[in-house]
Structure 1
Amino acid sequence: MKKALIALYIAGLGIGPLNVAFAQDLSTQKVPLDPGVRTGKLKNGITYYIRKNAEPKNRAELRLAVKAGSVLETDAQQGLAHFMEHMNFNGTTNFPKNELVNFLQKTGVRFGADLNAYTGFDETVYMLPIPTDSAGLLDKGLQVLEDWAHGALLDPSEIEKERGVVLEESRMGRGAQQRMRDKFLKVILNNSRYAERLPIGKDSILKSFKPETIKAFYQDWYRPDLMAVIAVGDFDVDKVEATIKQKFSSIPVPVNAKKRTKYAIPLDGSTKVAIVTDSEYPQNLIQLIYKQPNSKTKSLKDVRDNFGQGLYNAMMSQRMQELTQKANPPFLYGDSQYGDFLGDLDSYTSIALAKDAASMKTALTVLLEENVRVQKFGFTQPELDRAKKDFYTAIEQYYKERDKTKSAEHVQEYLDHFLHEKPYMGAEMYFEFVKKHLDGVSLAEINALAKKYITDKNRAVVVMGPEKNKDELPKEAEIRKLLAEAGKDVTAYVDDVVDAPLLPDEPKPGKVTSEKTLEKLGVTELTLSNGVKVLLKPTDFKNDEILIKATGKGGYSLFADERETGIFTSYLIQSGGVGPYSQTQLQKFLAGKTASAGPYVSELTEGIGGSTSPKDLETTLQLIYAYFTAPRKDADVVTGILANQKAYLENMQKTLTPEKVYSDSLNAVLTSNNPKRRPLKPESIDKVSLDHAVEMYKDRFSDASDFVFTFVGAFKPEEIKPLLEKYIGGLPSTDRDDTFKHPNIFPPKGTIDKTIYKGLEPKSRVTLISSGEYEYSPENNIQIEALQEVLQIKLIEALREEESGVYGVSVSESTDKFPSGHYRFSIGFGCAPENVDKLVKRAREEVSKVKQNGADPKDIEKFVAETQRKTETALKTNNFWLDYLDDNTFLGDDLDEIFLQEKLLKSITVASTKAAAEKYFSDNNFIKVVLMPEKK
C-alpha cells in the first residue's frame, strides 16, 4: 500500500534546496522543478534531461523517448510503430546488422534484461543502461541513442528477417485474454482511435507491408520536436551535456512536418456494458470503470489535491482487502482505485474476481455497495489518520533515501514529465511540502471525492467469464438494474480497531554467548544463549532500511501425508493475525510504521522474513517474537479462505487453459507424476486442516535454536545487540537436532518425447530438458552458469535472428546440493506449430556445436562481462547480501565464496565449456515436451 501511495504522490525524488516559498494560494504557483536536474532544448527541438547520480556507481541510465506510438499509424501502418522499435536493433548507421547487441553484450549489457524498448499508443521508449567506468563507453551509449533517433538503416533484407520475429511476438499474445479484449475494447473506448490501434498491429500488415511504408512512419514521427534524451548516472554533467549537444544538434528538422494529432477518447455520458466469454478463459472477472477527464498537475494546489486522491485510494483498498478477510468473502479479490486510464482520460476503477459464474452478481453488488457506502457515509477520521501516517512515513523514507535513489527511478520521473507533463519536485522540496500541507487535508475534502469519482455518467461495466457458464453470468438488463438500485440499504462502515500492546508480557531476554567477526565479509556472527545464530551485516547501501531473514530446517517434509496442509500453513496462520490482533487489526496497528514481518513454512524450511526502518526495528522484532509465541487461530476466516481457494481451483479445472494443461503435463513428466509434486485440485483443499496447520506451525516454531537470523542494512551491531538479546534471545528453545526429509524428486533418466494437443490458437510451446547427477561445487557451478549464458546467446542468434522463428528463447539452469547433487538445463520457446520440428532440430544442433567445439570465445567474453557487471551492482544492495548469507548458510557453503568469483571466471574457457556441454547434455538423457493446438 505504501508503494502505491508513493507512486501516486511523488512528483520527483531528486535532490534540490528548498528554494520556493509555499504561499497559501497554491493555485497560482507553478510546481517548482528539481534544480538537481539540468534540462534544455536544442535548436532543433530535442529536449534533454541530465542528472548526476552515483547509485549505482559507475553506471548510467540512458533513454530516448519519442512521442510517437501506434495511435499515429495510418491504416496501412498498423503495427509498424512497434516494428520500427524492433528495427532499431537491426542495423543503424554506426552499428550495422546485429552489431549493436553484440557490442553492448561485450560491455556487460544483457539484451532483453537491460537493453530494451517498448511501444505504447502514444510513445516509444528506448532503454540503455551503460557502464561509465571504461573510456568511451558513455559516449558510445549516447551514440546508440543518436542512431536510434535518426540513423536506422531499415535494410529490406533485415525487415524481411524481422517479420517472423514480430509475427511470433503477435502469436504469443494470442489467446482467451486477447480475444475477449478485442470484443470489449471498442465498447469501453467509445470506438475511439485507441481501440483501433493496438501496438501489436495486424498480422496481415506485418506480413506484407513494403519497406517504404515503415520508412514513412520513421521519417514522419522520429523527429527532434517529438524527442527527449535522458541521461542519469555516475558521470560529469557538463561533459554529457556537451556530448548531447554535439551529437543531437545536427539532426535535421523536417520540412512541412506532419501535425502530431492528439487523439481523444470521447465521453458521451452513457453507460456501456460488455459481457464477453471465451471457451479458454477460466475465471469470472468484473471491471467497473468510471471515466473522467485527465487531471494535469500544473500548480502546487494540484500537488496538494493529489494527496486526496492517494489517501482515498489507500483507504478504499484497505476496505476492499478487509472484505476478502471475512468469514464469507464476497469475492476472491477486489480493489478500487483512481488513476490514469488511457489517452486523455483518468478513471475510477473497481475490480472483483468472483468465486464462480453464479457469484458474479454478488461480486458486482458488493463492489457497487462499497462505492455507495463511501458516497453516503464517507470514510472515518481514524481511517484518514492511519492513511496519513502511512503516507507521511513513506515520503519521509524516500526523503531519507534521496542520495540512495537508483538512477532508473529518476529516469522514470523525467520520462513522465516529457511524455505526460508530470512534474518532478525533488525529494527535499516535496517532503517539505508534505510536512506543511498534509495535515490540512480534511475528511470532508476526501469524502467529497467519492461524489466526483462515482457517477452515473461515462461508466463501463465489463463482465468476463467462461463460455460454458455464459447462461449463469448476469445479463445486461440485470447489470443496469444493479447500477440503478445499488446500495439502497447500505450502512456505515464500522472501524474494527484494537488498542493493546503487541506483546502483553515482556520476553525474558537471553544473552550473547559468543561473538566472532568475519572481517572479509564485514559480518558479525553472534550466538545467543537459546542457541540462535545471528549474522549481522551493517551497510550504507540504504539510509533507512534493515532487512531480516530467519531460516530453520524441517518444513512440512517432517509431517507425513500433510502436504496440502503444509502448503497452506503459514497462510492460514497469518490470516488469523497475531497476539491480540486479527489480521485487519494488525494492519491498522502498524499504520505509520515501517515494520513488516511474516512467517513461512515450505517443504524443507520454515522461517521469517521482514523489513523495517531503524526507528521501527523494535516493533518489527516484537512482531517476529509474537509470530513465534502467539500465533492466532481464526476458524471463520480460514473457512472463507479455503472456500475461495477451492472455488479458484474448480474454475481452473472446469476450463482447462492450454497453458494449464501444458504446465501440468510438463510437471507430471519431470516429476514422474509423484503425488508430492502434483498440482493442487479442488479436492486437495478438503485435506487441509486448520487444527493440523496450527499443530505443524507450533511444532516448527517451538524451537528457535536451529534458526539462523540474518540482518542486513542501516544499523550498528553494538547498538542493536540489546534488542536482539531481548526478542531473539528470548525465543523458545528446546535444542532439538532438526533437519528436513528431502523427497528426492528429480526428472527421470532416459529419453521422453511427449506432445500435448490443447488450444484454439495456432501456436506451440516447446520445452527441452537435460538433467542428471551432479557434483555440487563452486567450480562446477560457474561452468553450468557459463554454459547457460552462451547457449542463451547462441539460441537467440539461431532461432530468432537467423531462423526468424521465435520471439524469445529462454535457457535456464538449476543445481541442487541436497540430498545429492543434481543439475537441470531447460530450453523453452514458443513458435508456429509447423516450425516445431525445424526449430527443435536447430536448437539441438547449436547444443551439439558447443559439445564438439566449445563456446565461441566472444560469447565467453560476453558472459564474463555480464557476470562481472551484474555482481558489481548486486554487491551494493541489501537484498543480495540477505539472500547470499541466508542461502549459503542453509546450504553449508563457504561464506567467502563470493570472493572466488574473479578466479572462477578465469576458469571459463573454450575447452571448459566443451567439457561441460559434453558432460551435461546427453542424448541418452533428454526430455522433450511440446504443446500443439487441438487437431481439427
Structure 2
Amino acid sequence: MADFYRFFARIIVLAGVIFPIAAFSQTRPLDAPSPDLAFPHERNAFGLAPDPAIHWGRLDTGLRYAIMENKTPRDQASLQLRVDVGSLDEVPELGGIAHFLEHLAFQKTIRRPDEGLFTELERLGLQSGADSNATTGLEATTYYLTVPGSGIDRISRALDIFRDISDGLLLTEEDVEQERDVVISELVSRDSSAAQSSKIRMRFLTPGAKAAEQWPAGTRESLHVISREDLLAFYQAHYRPEKMLLVLVGDFDAEAVEAEVRARFADFKGAGVAAPDVSEERTASLPQAPRALSHVEESLRPSIAVYFEQPAKSIASQSLGYSGAYRLQKADEDTRRAVLKRGLALDFAMGAYRRRLQDLMFADDAGFSSGGPFGDHIPRAAYFAGLQFTPVGDDWRTALHVARRELDRLLAFGITEQELDLMRRSQITSLKASVDRADTRSSGALASNILRSTAAHFVVRHPSALLADLMDVVDQLSLEDVKAALKDRYEGKAPAIFVRLQNSDEPVSEAEILAEWAAAGETLLQPWQPSDDKAFAYQVFGEPGQIVSQEHIEDFDFERLTFANHVVAQIKDSDLERNTVRFSIRLGNGLSAFAPDEAGLMAKAGQWATLGGLGAHDFQELSRLFADKNMSVQLSIDGGGVRILGAAMRADLPLPCNMPQRY
C-alpha cells in the first residue's frame, strides 16, 4: 500500500498489534508537549488514534518512549534507541563524527570504565551484528538490541546499556585512536562504485544541498583530524533526552518495563550546550527546467531514472497519518475522504503502470528488463516521484521512450475499468491479510515500524484501521479520480533524467538525452488494451494418492506421510504466522547432476522457469490471475535438488498445492 498511506516508495509499514491486555495498554493523556516532542497522534489533523496496543510515554526531560507487549517470538524483546543526529548535523571539516561516535558507543563508560559495553552484551548472550548493532544515517543514529529471555532483569540490563550510551561514554584517548582506524577502514571498504554513483546522482538532483555532500562515513581528511574534544562536544550537544526516542517491543510485562525505563532515565538531562533544533521544512531550491546527466560505471548495471520534483506539502494531501510540518490544518469529513481517495488513486495508478511494464518487458524488442515507479526523499532538500528502468545493455534510448510513452498514456487515458477492479481486489486482499497476520508479526519488525513511523511523523495505526479507511472509499474511487491524481503528480513538471551506462566509451550529453525525451513525447498514443484472462487451468489432478504410512515425529512435533508413489510429505501446525501456509518442496538431485560447466546455467533455471509461466498461462497472465491472492511461489536449484518455495493464506487452499504441483 505504498502510495495509499505514504508518498514514498520507501515504504513505512504503519502497523501494530491489538492484545486484550489491561487498560494500561491504552494511551494515557500526556501533558501538553512542545511541538517538537509531540507524538504524531497528538497533533494529527484528523485526530487519528494510534494502535491501542502501544503505550506512549514522555519524561519531563523530553525523552519519549513507546512500549508494546508482543508474543512473537516468545521469550524475546527488541529494544531500539534513536538519536536525532546524523551527518547532516556535522560541519564539513568534522565529517563522519556522528558515525565515529556511534563506534565509540560500545566502548568504556562511566559505569563500566574497565571493560566497556561489549563485555556486558556478551554476558547478556548478544552477538555483535546479529543481536546488537547500530547505524548512522543523514538524520539519525539508531541503536538496536535483541534480548533473549523475557525476565525484567534482562530488560533492565539492556536499558542500562542504552543509558550508558546516552550520557555515560568516557571517550578515552585509547578508544578514540582504536576506533579511528576502524572507521577509516570502513570508509575505504564502503567507497564503492555504487556509493560513488549515488553521490553523482544526488549532486545532480539537489545541487548545493548538504545531503549530496555530507555523507555519514566522512572523508579521510576529516576522520584524521577529529579529536577527543570534538567528539565530546558533539556528544554533549546531540545525545540529549529531547532528541531521543526509545522503543521496546517484546514478550514482557509492559507496566514493569515502563517502570524500569523511568527509573533508569529519569535523571538523564544532558550536559553541555545543546545543538540548535533543525526544522523538517528545509528544502533546496532546484532548477525548474528539464535537465539530464549521464555517467559511465563499468561495474554497475545500466539504469535510467526520471525524477519529478514534488511540493513538500503534497505528502499531507494523500496520507491521513502524516502529522509533520506540512500537515493539513483543515480536517473536516470532506477533506478526510479527499485525502483517502487521492492516496488510493495514486496507488492504483502506479500499480497499473507497474503491471503494464511487466506485460511489455517480455516482448523481443522491449529494450528493458525491469522498470517501475518509485519515490525518493533527499532529507532537508527535496521530494521526488520518478520512474526507474534497467535497459537491455546500454540501450537507454528505448527504455527512456517506454518510460515516457507509458507515462503519457496514463496521463492521457488513465487506467481501465479492468485495472481499477483488479487494484481494488488486490488492495483489499492485501490489507485483509495484514489484519489476519497482525498479532503474529515479529517484535523486531514492529519495533522498527514504530520507530521509523514516529520519526517520520506518521501515526502508528493498526492494520484494521487502515482496512476500515480503504473500505470507506474504495468503491467510490472513479477512473477520473485516478487520472486527476496522476496529472497533479506529473503534468507540467520538468524531468530530471539520470542515465548510468556500463559499456559505453563516454557519457551521453544532456542535449542528446533531452532530445530523446522530447521525441518520445511525440508518440501517437492509443488507450491501453488489457488482456482477457481465463480461469486457472490446473485445478484437477485426478484421484488423490494413497497414503501407505503415517507417523508423528515427537521431537519436532510434525506428521510424516508416505505415499504409494514414494512422495514424502511433512506437515507441521504452527502459531507463528496466523492464517498462513508455507511450503517447501524438494525433488531431484539438483546441481550435483550437472557437469561443472553446466552448473552456472542451471543455477538460473529457477528464475527462467518462473518467468516462463505454466503451459496454458504465461507469466503476465499468472500475475493477473493471482493479483488478489496473497500467494508467492519461487523456484531455485542447489546441490540438494530443485526447490519450490512459497506461501499463501489458508483461505486460498488448495491453490498453494495446485501451483507448485504444476511447476
TM-score normalized with structure 1 length: 0.62
Q: Which residue of 2 aligns with 1:668?
A: none
Matched, 1:289 2:307: yes
1:171 to 188, 196, 209: 188
Aligned-pair CA distance for 1:11: 2.3
Change in 2 beyond 3 A, CA 1:100/1:4 = farther
Given the superposition, is the C-alpha separation of residues 497 and 366 from structure 1 closer, same or farther in structure 2, using an over 3 Å criterion? Answer: same
- 1:598, CA displacement in angstroms? 4.2
Report SS of the residue matched to 1:308: helix
Aligned to 2:40: none
Query: Unpaired segments of 5 or more residues in structure 1?
Result: 21-26, 628-936
User: 1:112-127, aligned counterparts within 5 Å?
Assistant: 112-127=129-144
Q: Is the 8 A contact 2:558 2:572 kept in 1?
A: yes
Give CA deviations for 1:361-380 in whole Å, capped at 9, x if unaligned: 22222112121121112121
Task: Give the alignment partner of residue 293 of structure 2, picking from 266, 271, 274.
Answer: 274
Once the 2 structures are TM-superposed, how far is the Cα of residue 158 of structure 1 from its aligned partner? Answer: 0.8
Equivalent residue, structure 2, for 1:328 = 365
- Corresponding residue number in structure 2 for 1:147: 164
Deviation at 1:254, TM superposition (A): 5.5
Residues 134 and 494 of structure 1, relative CA distance in 2, 3 Å threshold: same
Q: What letter corresponds to residue 12 of structure 1 in structure 2?
A: A
Which has the larger share of helix? 1
Aligned length: 617
Task: State whether structure 2 residue 90 is matched by structure 1 residue 68.
Answer: no
Q: Specify the alignment match of 1:351 in structure 2.
A: 388
Give the C-alpha shift of residue 328 in structure 1.
Answer: 2.8
Change (3 A) 1:259 1:340: same
Aligned mates of 1:264, 1:132 — CA distance in 2: 45
The change in CA–CA distance for 1:222 and 1:113 in structure 2 (over 3 A counts) is same
2:14 pairs, out of 8, 11, 15, with: 11
Q: Deviations over 1:732-779 (max 9, x none)?
A: xxxxxxxxxxxxxxxxxxxxxxxxxxxxxxxxxxxxxxxxxxxxxxxx
| Aligned residue runs from structure 1 range 256-655, under 5 A | 257-262=274-279, 263-278=282-297, 280-294=298-312, 295-296=315-316, 297-298=322-323, 301=337, 302=339, 305-338=342-375, 340-343=377-380, 345-357=382-394, 359-457=395-493, 459-466=495-502, 469-471=504-506, 473-488=507-522, 489-503=524-538, 506-555=541-590, 557-558=592-593, 563=599, 566-602=602-638, 604-627=640-663
Q: How far 1:509 sits from its partner (Å)?
A: 2.5
Q: Residues 248 and 464 from structure 1, CA distance in 2 versus in 1: closer, same or farther, beyond 3 angstroms?
A: same
Change (3 A) 1:238 1:570: closer
Q: Which residue of 2 aligns with 1:766?
A: none
Specify the alignment match of 1:907 in structure 2. none
Q: 2:235 aligns with which of 206, 218, 243?
A: 218
Cα offset, 1:599, TM superposition: 4.2
* Aligned residues of 1:62 and 1:127 also touching (Cα < 8 A): yes
Q: Determine the C-alpha separation between the residues in 1 that align with 2:340 and 2:451.
A: 18
The offset of 1:478, in angstroms, is 1.6
Secondary structure of 2:399's match?
helix
| Structure 1 residue 325: Cα displacement | 2.2
Which structure has more RCO (C-alpha within 8 Å, separation ≥ 6)?
Answer: 2
For residues 41-81 of structure 1, the C-alpha deviation after alignment (integer angstroms, 9 at most, x for no partner) is 21111111111112111211111111111111123321101
AA paired with 1:270?
A: A
CA contact (8 A) 2:26 2:52 kept: no
Change (3 A) 1:437 1:524: same
1:205 paired residue number: 222
**2:26 and 2:55 in contact (8 A); partners too:** no
Deviation at 1:504, TM superposition (A): 6.9
Question: Sequence identity, in percent?
Answer: 24
Q: Give, as a single letter, the amino acid of the residue that structure 1 aligns with 2:609.
A: I
- Matched-pair contact (CA < 8 Å) for 1:515–1:527: yes
Q: Which secondary structure state, in structure 1, belongs to the residue aligned with residue 208 of structure 2?
A: coil
State whether residues 80 and 448 of structure 2, in contact with CA within 8 Å, keep that contact through their aligned partners in structure 1.
no
Kept in 1, the 8 Å contact 2:291–2:514? The answer is: no
Quick one: distance in 2 between partners of 1:377 and 1:589? 24
**Aligned partners of 2:77 and 2:248 also within 8 Å:** yes
Say if 1:409 and 1:604 are closer, same or farther in 2 by CA, change over 3 A: closer
CA offset digits 1:902-933 (Å, max 9, x no partner) = xxxxxxxxxxxxxxxxxxxxxxxxxxxxxxxx
Structure 1 residue identity aligned to 2:509: K
Contact 2:644–2:660 under 8 Å retained in 1: yes
2:305–2:497 contact (8 Å) kept in structure 1: yes
Distance 1:98 1:182, change over 3 A: farther
**Residues 595 and 176 of structure 1: CA distance in aligned 2, closer, same or farther (over 3 Å):** closer
Q: Which runs of 5+ in 2 are unaligned?
A: 28-43, 317-321, 324-330
The equivalent residue for 1:138 is 155
Q: CA RMSD in A?
A: 2.9
- After the TM superposition, which residues 218-257 of structure 1 pair with which residues of structure 2 at under 5 Å, given as runs? 218-252=235-269, 257=274
Q: Which residue of 2 aligns with 1:42?
A: 59
Deviations 1:548-597 (A, max 9, x none): 11112333654667546534444333333114211100110012112333
TM-score for both structures, normalised by structure 2: 0.86
Task: Report Cα offsets for 1:800-845 as digits up to 9, x if no partner.
Answer: xxxxxxxxxxxxxxxxxxxxxxxxxxxxxxxxxxxxxxxxxxxxxx
In 2, Cα distance between equivalents of 1:490 and 1:474:
27
- Report which of the two structures shows the higher radius of gyration computed on alpha carbons: 1
Partner of 2:39: none
* Distance in structure 2 (CA, Å) of the matches to 1:117 and 1:103: 16
> After superposition, what is the alpha-carbon deviation per residue over 1:159-191, rounded to whole angstroms, capped at 9, x for unaligned?
111110000000001233333333342221131
- 1:667 maps to which residue? none
Distance 2:436 2:381 in 1: 35
CA deviations 1:323-372 (Å, max 9, x no partner) are 32223331132222235453364321211222223x11222221121211
State the Cα distance separating 1:192 from its structure 2 match.
1.0
- C-alpha separation in 2, matches of 1:93 and 1:339: 41
Tell me the SS of whatever aligns to 1:609.
strand
Q: Does structure 1 conserve the Cα–Cα contact (< 8 Å) formed by 2:547 and 2:563? A: yes
* Counterpart contact for 2:194–2:300, Cα < 8 Å: no
> AA paired with 1:552?
L
Q: What is aligned with 1:841?
A: none
Q: Which amino acid aligns with 2:619?
A: Q
Q: Which moved more, 1:413-422 or 1:199-208?
A: 413-422
CA positional deviation for 1:128? 1.1
User: Matches of 2:539 and 2:131 in 1, distance apart?
Assistant: 50
Structure 1 contact 12–423 (Cα < 8 Å) conserved:
no
Deviations 1:680-737 (A, max 9, x none): xxxxxxxxxxxxxxxxxxxxxxxxxxxxxxxxxxxxxxxxxxxxxxxxxxxxxxxxxx
Q: What do residues 186-234 of structure 1 show as CA deviations (whole Å, max 9, x unaligned)?
A: 2211311212211111210101222111212111111121111111111
Quote the Cα distance in structure 2 between the aligned partners of 1:419 and 1:325.
Answer: 41
Q: 1:98 to 1:599 in 2, by over 3 A?
A: same
What whole-Å deviation, never above 9, does each CA across 1:608-654 have from its counterpart, x for those lacking one? 22211111121122212322xxxxxxxxxxxxxxxxxxxxxxxxxxx
